[in-house]
Structure 1
Amino acid sequence: MSRPKIALIGTGGTISSMGRGPFDIADYGTLGKVMSATELLAFWPQVAEVAEVIAIPYRAVPSTALGPQEWLELVRLCDETVAKHPDIDGIVITHGTATLEETAYFLSLTVKVEVPVVVVGAQRPSTGLSSDAGMNLANACRVAGDKRARGLGALVLLNDEIHAAREVTKTSTSRMQTFRSPDFGCLGHVDADAIAWYRRPLRKAGRETEFDVRGLESLPRVDIVYSYAGADGAAVQAFVAAGAQGLVSAGFAPSFVSPAMGETMIAAMKAGTPIAASTRAGSGRMFYTTRMREAGFVNADNLNPQKARVLLMLGLTVTRKLDELNRIFAEY
């Protein structure tokens, strides 16, 4: 059986990091040794047994250093990679786990290439004892080369599990099974003998979306306001003053906020700042009650706050109308 041809874009992160020894699985970041895509492939030559991999130069940094500017660059790089290598079967992007879910969801909504895009990370550096880096990388290449992965938007691969970018989130600081899709579960498993698929996501992604960011130099600023007992409206006012074009409310489950914060949010929405109502619960839909609807909140559905921020940023590139933003959150 022929091996798939995969393009590997490295952004850094734990999967590409090197520690001081096999037991350095926490302080390796202070060493500052992060491999490029080429170096990572040399460190894990076993990956060549499952795929022919082409290293695509990008950068090697912690994922805490990646954000909207890099998201736009990665979209363009995916386009350029397919144009330069039209025979590739898929793209794998290595990424630190801290912001992996946000990058993956943005790519899922914006990348227009036909080949699968799989975002992969690791919980332990490549030099760590029992590191998951090598197996995750190999499995990501296997998934990216699987024709059944096409049309699903960006996918996330860790711990032998395939997740939809929209649904997956990091749930543990250090456990191997940290990436979960709380409401619906994974799409499938990557086993030793086969890739086993079990379901397909229904929300629009990739080429089906209305978002075309390839000509954009920046994205609208959107900030997240976290709710807690006794919170006032200071954070709302500060973010608006800093230039936020939209906000996401990480409210109490199922979506409410404190009275003081609510008053400030309503004033901000009346002044023209859209606010998407999500929750800090970690799973479940927000309740779009009469009170929330009449106040003018955007319904973030079951997106967690960081994913709601990504979608609101993209939504604001095409509209600022409440009904249209609600449509976007219902479709994506």
Structure 2
Amino acid sequence: MMKKRVVLIGTGGTIASMGTGPFDILDYGARGLLLDAAELVARVPELAEVAEVVPVPFRAVPSTQLGYADWRELHRIIHQMATEDDGIAGFVVTHGTSSMEETAYFLSLTIKIRQPVVLTGAQRPATAISGDGPINMANAVRVAASEEARGMGALVLMNDEIQAARDVTKTSTFRMQTFRTADFGVLGQADGDRVVFYRRPVRRAGPDTEFDITGLETLPRVDVAYVHCDADGAAVDAFVAAGAKGIVTAGFAPGFVTPAMVTALEAARAKGVVVAMGCRAGSGRVFRTTKIAKSDFIVADNLTPQKARILLALALTRTTDQAEITRMFETY
């Protein structure tokens, strides 16, 4: 039986990092040595048993260095390859875990192909004893080749678990089970015998989204304001002065901020800045209270602040109408 063809795009991160030895599992980044996609694939010959894996070099950097310019280029490469070769079953993006959920959510909101796009990484570098990179790569390739994974936007595969890009977040610095979907759980698992799905996301994701980044050089500036006891409006004022078009709060659960921040946010709103009230708790919805409505703020639903920032930025490429942006938060 002919193996399916899966493209693997390497962006660096822990999965591609080379430490000084098998027990260098924390400070390996100090060495600054990362493998490209071809080198990464060559270290895991077992991938050939799963699919025909086509490595594509991209970046070899820590994921803290990635942002919109890189997302846009990933988006372009994926679409170009899918258009030029209809034999590609799916795509895998190897990625550092620090910002993987943000890249995944951006791609989930913007991809226009039905082939699966699966992001994976590792908690331990390529040189570590019992490194998790090889099994994560193999399982990501298996998911990307799966017919069942089509049409669900971008997915994240870590620790044998398949998660929706919208809902998953990194919850632990070093543990293997770091990626969790707090409120809803996994979509499925990549087990030894087969890939199994148990549910599908309900919120809209690529390819059926309204966001088009074609020709879009930059995104509107959206900042995240973290809320803590005694927080004043200094950060909010600085974001507005820097040109923010939107601000997302990482508020007290269930989405509250200090009185001083309310004053600063209302002043920002008066200048046309869209304010989305989020929560720092890591799970649960923010609802539109009477006070939030009176201040003319919107709510970020149950998105983490870092993901609400991405959705708000994309929303602002289409409209500044608050009702329309609210609809988008309720849709995606």
With structure 2 as the length reference, what TM-score do the two structures score?
0.99
- Following the alignment from structure 1 to structure 2, what is the Cα–Cα distance between the partners of residues 85 and 20? 40
Contact 1:9/1:56 (8 A) holds in 2: yes
Q: What percent of counterpart residues are identical?
A: 58
What code does the residue aligned with 2:52 have?
E
Please give the residue correspondences for 1:38-57 in structure 2 after superposition, counting only pairs within 5 Å: 38-57=38-57
- Following the alignment from structure 1 to structure 2, what is the Cα–Cα distance between the partners of residues 163 and 88? 22
Aligned residue in 1 for 2:292:
292
Aligned residue in 2 for 1:156:
156
What are the superposed Cα offsets for residues 210-266 of structure 1, whole Å, 9 maximum, x if unpaired?
000022111111110000001000000001111111110111000110000111101
- Following the alignment from structure 2 to structure 1, what is the Cα–Cα distance between the partners of residues 141 and 39? 16
Secondary structure at the aligned position of 1:57 is classed as strand
Aligned residue in 1 for 2:89:
89
1:328 corresponds to 2:319: no
Residue range with higher mean Cα deviation, 177-186 or 49-58:
49-58
Aligned residue in 1 for 2:181:
181
What code does the residue aligned with 1:241 have?
A
Deviation at 1:68, TM superposition (A): 1.2
Deviation at 1:114, TM superposition (A): 1.9
Aligned residue in 2 for 1:311:
311
Secondary structure at the aligned position of 1:205 is classed as coil
What are the superposed Cα offsets for residues 180-227 of structure 1, whole Å, 9 maximum, x if unpaired?
000100100110011111100001111211000022111111110000
Please give the residue correspondences for 1:206-285 in structure 2 after superposition, counting only pairs within 5 Å: 206-285=206-285
Contact 1:14/1:125 (8 A) holds in 2: yes
Aligned residue-pair number: 332
Secondary structure at the aligned position of 2:318 is classed as coil
1:9 corresponds to 2:9: yes
Contact 1:4/1:88 (8 A) holds in 2: yes
What code does the residue aligned with 1:248 have?
V
Aligned residue in 1 for 2:63:
63
What are the superposed Cα offsets for residues 155-185 of structure 1, whole Å, 9 maximum, x if unpaired?
0000000000000000000000000000100
Secondary structure at the aligned position of 1:59 is classed as strand
Deviation at 1:44, TM superposition (A): 1.0
1:120 corresponds to 2:120: yes
What are the superposed Cα offsets for residues 49-94 of structure 1, whole Å, 9 maximum, x if unpaired?
1111001121111000001111111111111121232211000000
Aligned residue in 1 for 2:190:
190
- Following the alignment from structure 1 to structure 2, what is the Cα–Cα distance between the partners of residues 24 and 272? 49
**RMSD over aligned Cα atoms:** 0.8
Moved over 6 A (4+): none
Secondary structure at the aligned position of 2:88 is classed as coil
What code does the residue aligned with 2:272 have?
G
Contact 1:285/1:302 (8 A) holds in 2: yes
- Following the alignment from structure 1 to structure 2, what is the Cα–Cα distance between the partners of residues 95 and 319? 31
Gaps of 5+ in 1: none
With structure 1 as the length reference, what TM-score do the two structures score?
0.99
Gaps of 5+ in 2: none
What code does the residue aligned with 1:155 have?
L
Deviation at 1:293, TM superposition (A): 1.5
Deviation at 1:315, TM superposition (A): 0.4
